[in-house]
Chain A
């Protein structure tokens, strides 16, 4: 599905990612954990195609193609989905309009006929039940005036509608109370599929109580310093991130898959 090799990336003049190696196979869920400033969000942004991040060397192969050669929208149509840490408010653009335009852009790309309004509404209402969202949210502007929890649910709703092959969830748990976290996790779990891979980027272990990863990687100072199974997250929970200061500089560990 996804093969990242020796990826180096900078924001401005500042190198943030300093040699990431990671392989994610179809159907796997990988968690990437790390303290603030370790490069987690930069990695999400590189995968989604954010222009303020410059890849200085290395490669990312996605389903056999060079991901870095694809524009943002081409990645989305090819099945890459980023659930934003801070979903953007877009006054004046209807939530339902965006969902439909996004889905139809993908369908067109895949050579499928576009859905008409009736078909689309039936589909989206079904997915909204899963996210325990009120239908009225469809007719509001994208994320405008949504609470933190509503924004995150809206992200997962988009994911449910778009059915990506690779989903990157950037700090999806941040700002959620326990009830909202359960709903979001439930939505994400229901989207687990042998053909769908997920990367959960998170600071805290809490999310991983609800979404069980197959692999956990620890990112520090732009490198993956440890990889392991779900038990690694528990270890981090107990010990915090302080220990990585000692092993962060030299050791380099490739992905566990």
Chain B
């Protein structure tokens, strides 16, 4: 057993009784099988195809504590967090500090009828079992999702009854204030038929020390349900962020996912949407931005398993310094998924000679009556555009920032939910400093 596995094993044994729902055999089995799965896989190495460009060696060396913060640990004030929050005016928010739910920073009163947002720590063992439905598919997706299954203690469970709607977007904010910890958090979304939810998940690092956020999201969309989802990574300079997301979509449902990996030493996201019944559609878009020695990796997969579904995938990258990024976009169209419409593109802007991106579309199409397109580009700032702006008197730096912003912000127009789009626009403008 590697030192890293041994470390997490001792954490698992140490925390055993501190993790929630100990008296539930279902959860015991869940954690045990998660642990066994992780222990058997171990930390992936670059010999593993899915991790070919992604080295975890530095993360393996860190002996991080998997215990959530003590309830009495000091917390920032909402006034301090508000300045950084993507939805500072959100009517409803769930705030977690160092892996623990903060009732005083959160505001979950007065949710619309049929909408529930519950922190995991508030759930009894019996109430919590429903959580296993949206999380079922994701827990074996990656070694880290399995590790999360073993340790998960906190997160948000969002449910919507049939036809219920939460249009005023919910903010789920995870703040990290100190180093040395590994947080295993989950977000579970279960939207019943015809319901609608808009949400922004924001991960905010307020420390320059090393820490690890190991995050999992499960999305279950019943017929006609619609989830507008923004995930925003603004992790600290030495932070590791690993996320896994799995969406299961029934007929006519729509999942709009926009990921923004804006900072952090290391980021990896494995995202999958399965279109299980006719008429389901997914938008899976994202932006990664790296500078210095930062690294971001998006491995996405869209499974067309039923006819008449559509998927749109659009990822952009801005890379400066010695930053590196990986984009792997897999589209699988099953044999009977006729009339599939699928578009994928990945465009990268390299701002320095040392920056590097590995981009790989991966289409596996078994049906014959489909429209699938894909394309990837890697380019530099357009000299003609830069010259044009300068010839009108703009500073070279200003002109450069404008062009980077224009490249990156182009993605925002695809956010269907007006409130989320406006919030991201406000947050991003003037931040394309790289």
Contacts and interface: CB of A to CB of B under 8 A. Distances in A.
Given A88-B388, A90-B385, A105 B403 contact: no
A51 B394 CA distance: 16
A50 interface: yes
B406 A102 contact: no
B405 interface: yes
B391 A82 contact: yes
B353 to A, nearest CB: 18
Interface string B378-402: 0000101101111111111011001
B398 A101 contact: yes
Contacts of A93: 389, 402-403, 406
Contacts of A75: 391
Task: Identify the interface centre among B382, B387, B398, B410: most chain A CB within 10 Å of its CB.
Answer: B387
A133 interface: no
Contacts of B394: 73, 98, 101-102, 105
B393 A76 contact: yes
Contact of A106 (B387, B393, B406, B409): B393
B392 A158 contact: yes
Contact of B410 (A76, A91, A158): A91
A162 B384 contact: no
Nearest to B404: A92
A40 interface: no
Interface in B231-248: none
Contacts of B409: 92
B241 to A, nearest CB: 28
Contacts, number: 69
A77 B391 CA distance: 9
Contacts of B403: 90, 92-93
B388 A73 contact: no
Contacts of B387: 50-51, 72, 88
A73 B400 CA distance: 13
Contact of B392 (A71, A102, A109): A102
B391 A105 contact: no
A148 interface: no
Interface string A80-95: 0010100110111100
B406 A162 contact: no
B407 interface: yes
Task: Identify the interface centre among B391, B393, B394, B406: most chain A CB within 10 Å of its CB.
Answer: B393
A109 B388 contact: no
- Range, interface on chain A: 20 to 34
B406 A109 contact: no
A93 B410 CA distance: 10
Contact of A49 (B385, B391, B398, B407): B391
Contacts of A71: 390, 396
Interface in B398-433: 398-399, 402-403, 405-407, 409-410
Interface SS of B by simple majority: helix
A142 B399 CA distance: 13
Task: Identify the interface centre among A92, A93, A109, A158: most chain B CB within 10 Å of its CB.
Answer: A92
Contacts of B399: 73
B391 A72 contact: yes
A77 B402 contact: no
Task: Identify the interface centre among A51, A75, A88: most chain B CB within 10 Å of its CB.
Answer: A88
A216 interface: no
Contact of A48 (B384, B391, B405): B391
Contacts of B402: 93, 101
B406 A98 contact: no
Nearest to A49: B391
A243 B293 CA distance: 62
A66 to B, nearest CB: 19
Given A51-B387, A88-B388, A90-B385, A105 B406 contact: no
Contacts of A91: 406, 410
A27 to B, nearest CB: 23
A73 B393 contact: yes
A98 B405 contact: no
Contacts of B390: 71-73, 76
Nearest to B406: A92
B392 A98 contact: yes
Nearest to A92: B406
A179 B407 CA distance: 35
Nearest to A104: B393
Contacts of B393: 73, 76-77, 102, 105-106, 109, 162
22 contacts: A49-B391, A50-B387, A71-B390, A71-B396, A73-B391, A84-B388, A84-B391, A87-B388, A88-B387, A88-B388, A90-B403, A91-B406, A92-B405, A92-B406, A93-B402, A93-B403, A98-B392, A101-B394, A106-B393, A141-B406, A142-B388, A162-B393
Given A101-B398, A141-B406, 4 more contacts: A51-B387, A88-B382, A101-B394, A109-B393
Interface of B: 382, 384-385, 387-396, 398-399, 402-403, 405-407, 409-410
* Shortest Cβ-Cβ A-B pairs, 10 listed: A92-B406, A76-B393, A102-B392, A105-B393, A88-B388, A72-B390, A73-B390, A77-B393, A93-B406, A88-B384
